[in-house]
Amino acid sequence: MAALDPLVPSGGPLPPEERRRAARHLLLESFGPAAQARLASARVLVVGAGGLGSPVLQYLAAAGVGTLGVLDDDVVEESNLQRQVLHGAGDVGSPKTASAAAALRTLRPDVRVVEHGVRLDASNARSLMEAYDLVVDGCDTFATRYAVSDAAVALGLPVVWGSVLGWDGQVAVWWSAAPDGLALTYPDVFGPAPSEEGETCATAGVLSPACGVVGATMAVEAVKLLTGTGDVALGRLLVYDARTSTWNAVELTPPSAATGPVAHSEAPNRATSPLTTVPEGALVLDVGPAAGGAAPGAVWVRLEDLAAGEHPPELVGHPHDAPVVVVCPHGLRSRGAATLLAADGWTDVRAVAAAPL
């Protein structure tokens, strides 16, 4: 499709120092000072300052976006540092919004950063988003994605969306007001909101540089939308496979009442099997988010500790060829734990779901 009209009007001539800093943009064919001036006037809200939000925020700040909203209610944890490159070891324990704002101002002192240290949901999404020209959604929960989508439809805002899990990533642009029959939203493609959350990096893992690839692509789409340059990924789902370093574009069409959603829902995979009986001689490990009595006699252990190779005494004394049953409420954390235990030498590991008793 041809380039869209720019989302942001030109804010007038750039000062000499900004032209010097953005010189490589000004040399681009079909970009130049007018597009750079639009970036300087742009207001972009980035939802999530984690694995995807980090490269998005870095590149948008460096590209010259004038105002960046950073929305995240979390604090920096040590396990974030593997992929959330906006934060450093000295930021552990700090709010992600504060850490991100400091890093962005170091990168570009004149950028305006607005910190939103809250969780976006249906009750506040519209008020948080209405001050911006564009939303970039790099969150990792269904609840937030659907709240962003609903508010964006109400406000007529485009959303650059991305996700990454394991070795795989996806990028798309959703916009209920898009021209040329390309008015697609996240629910149009993935269906209604599921009743429960799916796998996350905390349960399935993620390749660190894949976050950079997907996040940088999201930043590219944002720049094209803001400036009216390039071919925006409307009506296409961009799918990245880090195993082969390849991208594929899936063509999308607006759904009809007869056909329903364009693609399958991102609803989570269910557990491999219910916890009905425990094999004789098995050690039962509970890797739920909190000790919840998933099974009688289960040993609770944090998934993060297993990842660090810190095994509870009961596991250390358990023979490597004896059965281990790993449980959690939905079977997601337990699958990740089973992968870790297999890598550490236990040969008979079963991951199951078991709601807390």
Domain boundaries, the chain: 16-251, 283-353
Assign 206 to helix, strand or coil: strand
Calpha distance 273→270 (Å, rounded)? 8
Look up residue 330 and give its amino acid.
Answer: H
Max distance between CA atoms of the chain, in angstroms, equals 76
**pLDDT at residue 255 in the model:** 63
Burial class (CB in 10 A: 0-12, 13-18, 19+), 262: middle
**pLDDT at residue 267 in the model:** 34
**pLDDT at residue 269 in the model:** 33
Strand order in the sheet with 236-241: 112-116, 67-71, 43-47, 134-137, 159-165, 168-174, 236-241, 246-251
Calpha distance 240→225 (Å, rounded)? 21
Strand 236-241 and strand 283-286: the pairing is unpaired
Name the helix (H) or strand (E) containing 35: helix 32-41
Indicate the CATH number for domain 283-353.
3.40.250.10
Contacts of 47 (CB under 8 A, 6+ apart): 53, 71, 72, 120, 135, 136, 137, 138, 139, 144, 148
DSSP assignments along 98-155, one per residue: HHHHHHHHHH-TT-EEEEE-S---TTTHHHHHTT-SEEEE----HHHHHHHHHHHHHH
* Distance set, CA 11 to CA 19, 36, 103, 159 (Å): 14, 9, 26, 22
Instruction: Answer for the pair 52, 164: CB distance below 8 angstroms, yes or no.
Output: yes
Indicate which residues carry an active-site annotation.
Answer: 201, 328
Residue with tokens 């993935």: 190
Cα 346-350-353 angle, rounded to 5 deg = 140
**pLDDT at residue 332 in the model:** 65
Could you read off the pLDDT tens digit of each residue along the chain, which spans 357 residues? 557 899 998 878 889 999 999 999 998 988 889 999 999 999 999 999 999 999 999 999 999 999 999 999 999 999 889 999 999 999 999 999 999 999 999 999 999 999 999 999 999 999 999 999 999 999 988 999 999 999 999 999 999 999 998 888 999 999 999 988 789 999 988 888 876 666 677 767 889 999 999 999 999 999 999 999 999 999 999 999 999 999 988 888 766 543 455 443 343 333 334 454 568 788 999 887 777 656 667 898 887 788 778 899 999 999 999 999 998 876 667 877 888 898 889 999 988 876 544
- Give the class (CATH, top level) of 16-251: alpha beta
Distance from chain centroid for Cα 325: 30
Calpha distance 314→296 (Å, rounded)? 15
